Structures are given as structure tokens and as C-alpha cells.
Amino acid sequence: MANIISDETIEYVGILAKLELSEEEKEAAKKDMGRMLDYIDKLNELDTGSVEPMSHVFPVHNVFREDVVVNGDDRENMLANAPEQKDGQYEVPMTTVEE
């Protein structure tokens, strides 16, 4: 294990994460963080020079449809069901906010 995590680092991470860790939990976290950093070091050994950068593992295509209006302006039919209308709009009774 080349990456040794200090007690100060664990304390600092605990403060940032707002965690109260027991001594056993701090030791376990030190080992876990060390293993994570070792794994990252292992990944850094890989030759990725010929790998093209990507944002997703699988090809992603735009799945959204074109925004095409299909029902158009059918104001007359919509207003036909209105109990009351005025100037081509729904007319609703005025309400007041009760406190």
C-alpha cells in the first residue's frame, strides 16, 4: 500500500462530511481510502493514449422527437365547452385570498 492516509486527512474528511467517526471507523476509513488511491494508481499505469475520449460507454443519440404542432389553434372548439367566455377567452369568477 503506497498511499498512506494520515489521521489529519481522516479528521478533515470527517469534518467536511459532518461525520463523527469512532477510532475503529477512522482506521477502517484510512484503509479504504488507501485501497481506493492504490486502485487509482493502478489505473494510471494503463496506456490510454489510443483510446478516444467519450462521455458515455454506449453511443447516445438524440431520442427527442421534433416539436411539431399537430392540433393547431382550435380555439372555437376549446371555448365551446366553457361555461362563460369573453373576448375569445375563458371567463372565470374573481376570487379573493382569505387570510
Main-chain phi, psi angles of 89, to 5 degrees: -135, 160
Task: Report whether 79 contacts 85 (CB < 8 A).
Answer: yes
All three cell numbers of 77: 372548439
- Give the per-residue pLDDT at 2: 60
Please list the rounded mean pLDDT of every run of 10 residues in the chain (99 residues).
81 93 93 92 91 83 83 83 88 81
pLDDT of residue 13: 92
